[in-house]
Structure 1
């Protein structure tokens, strides 16, 4: 039994799967944004605009981000997949095997897509030579600072190097009571993965090569993990912090730095209780580099749209294809991504003054110009790889293993997982 089959069977036995009969609407949309209080009104406006323009109706289905993968595979098993779904870019390889997945190149044509979408955003929806997904919004995962905390700590400039970063963390620790200077993710496997990857890349390392070979056992990985363990030992990061916790701490000015997607501004507005008045404190910045002059590191991030065929072959006239095309319209691309503090996926929307004149989005793009691929999340066994990596990082951070022991174990376990998945080591 495969890992995916086990996942579906377990969830089914637990009674998670509750799906009704065929929908009365012209198409169904499943997405995690519709399950978020801050984003749901934006999705409602998208659907209302589409219905007004086309006369077609959409049934929205909200599913929490953490349940999305499980729910999709359950629906695949029962043949009740939604017509359109919102996914994270890192899930695309896993979802590429789902039945009926549409290759947008065959519906809209490569030329139209290349003329419509920003190239790096469009590339995140490609897998095995097919355009299985289109960007709803895009950007990267980078670092954000809270200016109010920096000011309280007497810090006048954003740190550019790792040495300056650590010095600033110490200032925050010593001057801001009950603070977590750097709200690094130290719980939730997927959160730990992103934060650890960022620092491995920053120190010049990699985790898995495009061929599938595990290369995390390196001096760079050891230096990165040793750096993070030192931060824990000096009380500059803290245990039991996930991404939602980090957003809350930064929003409440109890942390100075953390890693997040550009949606950070929207989350911090909410957690601060100050809405847009808090924007003056939200500072996108480059992840501090090891040596001055090094290229800053960030990680690819996007909300993508996948679809399942309503006809054979799918055509532009299908209700779900009309909806997907509408999601690339300026009416959506200058509304939804901007309201969520993210970059639009289309070329025209990025050139629109609503986006081009947004100082926050401009700063984000400037500070995160060349995002790297999430080397773990893109594999079909990404869930298992993520669990292994997070367990070993946590073991080192909690002092249960030395950084050297954790990296060695991580490498061996990940290599075994990739071998099992069919990739020679």
Structure 2
């Protein structure tokens, strides 16, 4: 909880850090999709539909994905929490103790929720028997290929193994001018975490086990980081790349591979300027494996919705609870997730024609059959752990430390954080 205390105690001018002011509408919604150019129109469509249906108004508050955690804690400190908030599924443990957080089981009913939402999506919002978040959309984090770039490099088959992957990267480097073959995250700790975690799993390692013990300092961890460092040294990846940069490079046909959630297709449509015409280049794939036949690794992923009580106790007739209920409406679930190229969170919407007959979503599901829970973001000090991991990986990628030294330092620093939080090391 140290990261929470630091953020809540930070001396920051709230008006500079947060988009939006005290709301005069019936309810407020704070989300990162509203701050994204490609997703904002979809959010506005939801807000308009809700107002038309209920005659209630919603104040939208945009916050960049990378600033969401900081901004929400600052709002908690100043007692200006929004009523409804869009979060990444891995942030939920960090937010679970914020004042006024609604347990949807108590307000909307456990039976209703179980009947309405897909079990895998609903499970991402559960902590200690409480339903603290509901899925807006779901899926996994895996790898995407730009088949147009691969074709220009003379590659006609998406690689399945690491050996094939490295050969494809070298071909792109040598035959596609000014390209970043694999737009690996090398800049932001939040983004670096995902790339490293997937490669660490691919090489057989783990970061933190189920009991809270840090286990990243292993042969597999060192091999995974050495592999990433090798990609950088061979100019198969590049420094100063964050997820938005990777999406831009892919959309501009300057990268062949990157790791993202299924909404990748929506981002690439936007960044390419070609809309749906660019879809022919976007191919979900399994993360390359060490040995043919191994199962590709992917990470659980979802956009979740948390709420803060408007009345005491929270009531399903409150404006924010009506808005949350509307987010499960088929009109929303067959619109927003589909426009963002993700799976809906509800049972009914997942059976809709636009979902079951979408080749992109079908391929995504085929290549990401068993996504694994985020091993770092789920812990109370997830933000601090993520920062440590990102710093150490980046130090190795920039040749400031050897891969072995970076992994050893990462393990010691993360173990100290987990030990302070009460987990035996």
| Cα distance in 1, alignment partners of residues 159 and 18 from structure 2 | 50
Write the distance in 1 (CA, Å) between the matches of 2:346 and 2:242: 31
**1:283 maps to which residue?**
283
1:124 is matched with which residue? Answer: 124
On the 8 A contact 1:34/1:61 being kept in 2, the answer is yes
- Quick check: 2:26–2:56 contact (8 Å CA) kept in 1? yes
RMSD: 1.6
Q: Deviations over 1:369-421 (max 9, x none)?
A: 11111111111211111111111111211222221111111101110111112
User: Where does residue 411 of structure 1 map in the other structure?
Assistant: 411
Q: Is the 8 A contact 1:11 1:17 kept in 2?
A: no
CA distance in 1, matches of 2:142, 2:337: 17
Structure 2 residue 395 is matched with structure 1 residue 395: yes
Normalised by the length of structure 2, the TM-score is 0.96
Q: Distance in 2 between matches of 1:17 and 1:222?
A: 37
Partner-residue secondary structure (3-state), 1:306: strand
Contact 2:144 / 2:282 at 8 angstroms: preserved in 1? yes
Rounded Cα–Cα distance in structure 2 between residues aligned with 1:353 and 1:100: 38
Moved more, 15-24 or 294-303: 15-24
Which deviates the most, 9-18 or 75-84?
A: 9-18
1:68-83 correspondence to structure 2 within 5 Å? 68-83=68-83
Match runs of 1:176-215 below 5 Å: 176-215=176-215
Mean Cα deviation higher: 257-266 or 64-73: 64-73
Match of 1:294 in 2: 294
Distance across 2 between alignment mates of 1:101 and 1:59 = 19
User: Cα offset for 1:24?
Assistant: 2.7
**Whole-Å Cα distance in 2 between the matches of residues 372 and 20 of structure 1?**
35
Look up the match of 1:246.
Answer: 246
Report the number of matched residues. Answer: 425
Contact 1:136 1:344 in 2 (8 A): yes
Is this contact kept in 2: 1:184–1:246, CA < 8 A?
yes
State the match for 2:54 in structure 1.
54
Supply the distance in 1 between the matched residues of 2:411 and 2:314 (Cα, whole angstroms): 43
Are the aligned partners of 2:4 and 2:381 in contact in 1 as well (CA < 8 Å)?
no
Q: Deviations over 1:60-102 (max 9, x none)?
A: 1112212211221122122221111111111101110101111
Whether the 8 Å contact between 1:19 and 1:80 is mirrored in structure 2 is: no
Alpha-carbon deviations, 1:171-195, whole Å to 9, x = none? 1111111211111011111111110
Q: Are the structure 2 counterparts of residues 63 and 132 from structure 1 closer, same or farther at C-alpha, using a change threshold of 3 Å? A: same
* Alignment-derived partner of residue 257 in structure 1: 257
What is the DSSP-based 3-state SS (H/G/I as helix, E as strand, rest coil) of the residue aligned with 1:16? helix
1:18–1:230 Cα change, 3 Å: closer
Indicate if the aligned counterparts of 1:146 and 1:283 stay in contact, CA closer than 8 A.
Answer: yes
Query: Do the aligned partners of 2:20 and 2:61 also contact (CA within 8 Å) in 1?
Result: no
Provide Cα deviations, 1:99-128, integer angstroms capped at 9, x if missing partner. 111111112222221221111111111112
- The 1-side partners of 2:186 and 2:364 are apart by 24
Offset from partner CA, 1:150-203 (integer Å, 9 cap, x none): 111111111111111111111111111121111101111111111000100111
1:235 aligns with 2:240: no
Say whether 1:349 aligns with 2:336. Answer: no
Tell which deviates more after alignment, 108-117 or 301-310: 108-117
CA deviation profile, 1:213-242 (whole Å, cap 9, x unmatched): 101011111111111111112111111111
Answer whether contact 2:2 2:381 (CA < 8 A) is retained: no
Deviates more, 1:319-328 or 1:104-113: 104-113
Aligned partner of 2:159 in structure 1 is 159
* Gapped regions of structure 2 (runs ≥ 5): none
Secondary structure at 1:135 match in 2:
strand
In the alignment, structure 1 segments of 5+ residues that lack a partner are none
Runs of 4+ in 1 over 6 A off after TM superposition: 18-21
Looking at structure 2, the residues matched to 238 and 191 of structure 1 have their Cα atoms a distance apart, in angstroms, of 14
Q: Secondary structure at the match of 1:60?
A: strand
TM-score, normalised on structure 1? 0.96
Partner of residue 315, structure 1? 315
Aligned counterparts, 1:317-396, within 5 A = 317-396=317-396
CA distance in 2, matches of 1:70, 1:390: 17
| Structure 2 counterpart SS, 1:109 | helix
